[in-house]
Amino acid sequence: MTETLDRLRLARTEGVGPITYRRLLRRFRSAAEAIEGLPALARAGGRATPLVVPPPAAAERELERLHRLGAKLLFLDEEAYPPLLALLDDAPAVIAVLGNQQAFAPRAVALVGSRNASVNGQRLAEALAQELSAAGLAVVSGLARGIDAAAHQGALHGGLTIACVAGGIDIPYPPEHAGLQQRIVDGGGAIVAEMPPGTTPQSRLFIRRNRVIAGLALGVIVVEAAIRSGALVTARIGQDANRELFAVPGSPLDPRCRGSNDLLRQGAHLVENAADVLAHLPDHPGREGLARLPIFARARPVGGLAEGEHAWPDMADAPIPEAAAHRTLLQLLSPSPTSVDDLLRRCQLSPATVQTALLDLELAGRVEVLAGNRVALLSEAGLSEPGL
């Protein structure tokens, strides 16, 4: 229990995102050691104020609250953690699950689209979800109005559905979907939340939610999406993660269809019925084309990385970087994301020094390490000179 509390505290610590969480566990081997080492790392990166680490009592309260709700936490390296989601570079360090953990079948598909969807769009999404769930696929969506709700309702007629929420697992959003959320749980499906219980959904959290939707699925189907929409964000995340991409064609006169039609122009599979999806969906998650990594390789170390997975090398014996290393990296970086491989080629520092210095700078709030092995410079406001 102590290790569970420490890992939850680490995951909830200010400035520790999913990527940083993995790297800290690779460096310190345990969550307790990582928490103990955080202040020195942040100071080395130039942080003037201490990081806020939740006390053990706060982690205990979160676990108790989830227990009362009937929910459970799944950590990244655990057997029950969804294997498809674990493949994302920025897979959540921990998720809360309400309902059936067996709903995380290896064959799942995401179905997303416009909140202000047309009647025809909702009817098509519902029928498509029903056919796909009857074919043995879990249907994943975001519990939003419009297409998401239709997808969940259709899947409930034929099989399993998974709803990913942006806030806490105890806060249905929108509020009128509280009944639908309960029906999903009662119907053998699951509700998934990355944020702690009690968290109110905010705009910045929906992008995080969208990556969970895409990460749980073999492919993403888009029905009625405008040019700037969350559904297209989910599609892009899925495409970046090497998942199949599908779109339902719509009227060129309807602005709600311009984004989904544009996906078709870019090469997404055209969908008119479930057969169009099944024809292009991988028979097995490990098939070449979805990912180069074995999805069912369960021997994941504490950091949640499979053997041979490309990420950061072992950091346990990495040297403490000098202030000059931090300055060199800050001079080379910009707000536009940069490949860490490119950074290594140009900084004339060892890989171990670079990875440790970037960890310092991220904990100090000076850089952000992103999925795809990229890093970007953040605001320097309120920070002291690193190493001083």
DSSP 277-315: HHTTS-SSTTSTTT-SS-TT-----TTS--TT-SSPPP-
- Mean pLDDT value of segment 335-349: 87
Query: Distance between CA atoms of 95 and 76, rounded to whole angstroms?
Result: 8
Does the pLDDT at position 375 exceed 50?
Answer: yes
pLDDT given at position 321: 67
Q: Tens of pLDDT along 103-161? A: 887 789 999 999 999 999 999 999 999 999 999 999 999 999 999 999 999 999 989 99
Does the pLDDT at position 298 exceed 60?
Answer: no
Tokens found for residue 128 = 């498509």
pLDDT given at position 64: 97
Query: Distance between CA atoms of 7 and 152, rounded to whole angstroms?
Result: 32
Query: Distance between CA atoms of 52 and 66, rounded to whole angstroms?
Result: 22
Q: Tens of pLDDT along 234-274? A: 999 999 999 999 999 998 888 999 999 999 999 999 999 99
pTM to 2 decimals?
0.83
pLDDT given at position 199: 95
Closest CA to 111 of 136, 145, 142, 86: 142
Half-sphere exposure of 194 (CA within 13 A, CB side): 26
Q: Do domains 1-69+314-388 and 84-278 have the same CATH topology?
A: no
* CATH number, span 84-278: 3.40.50.450
pLDDT given at position 379: 66
Of residues 270 and 385, which shows the higher confidence score? 270
| High-pLDDT (> 90) share of the chain, % | 55
Query: Distance between CA atoms of 320 and 315, rounded to whole angstroms?
Result: 11
Q: Tens of pLDDT along 182-214? A: 999 999 999 999 999 999 999 889 999 999 999
pLDDT given at position 319: 56
Residue 329's alpha-carbon distances to 126, 346, 372, in angstroms, are 50, 10, 18
| Cα of 275 vs its chain's centroid, Å | 28
Q: Tens of pLDDT along 151-164? A: 999 999 989 999 99
Q: Tens of pLDDT along 50-80? A: 888 999 999 999 999 999 999 999 999 888 9
Tokens found for residue 83 = 């294997």
pLDDT given at position 180: 97
pLDDT given at position 299: 32
Question: Does domain 1-69+314-388 bear CATH number 3.90.180.10?
Answer: no
Report the chain's mean pLDDT, rounded to a whole number: 85
- Mean pLDDT value of segment 26-31: 86
Of residues 49 and 304, which shows the higher confidence score? 49
Does the pLDDT at position 23 exceed 90?
Answer: no
Using pLDDT thresholds of 50, 70 and 90, give the confidence band for residue 289: very low
pLDDT given at position 359: 84
Domain boundaries, the chain: 1-69+314-388, 84-278
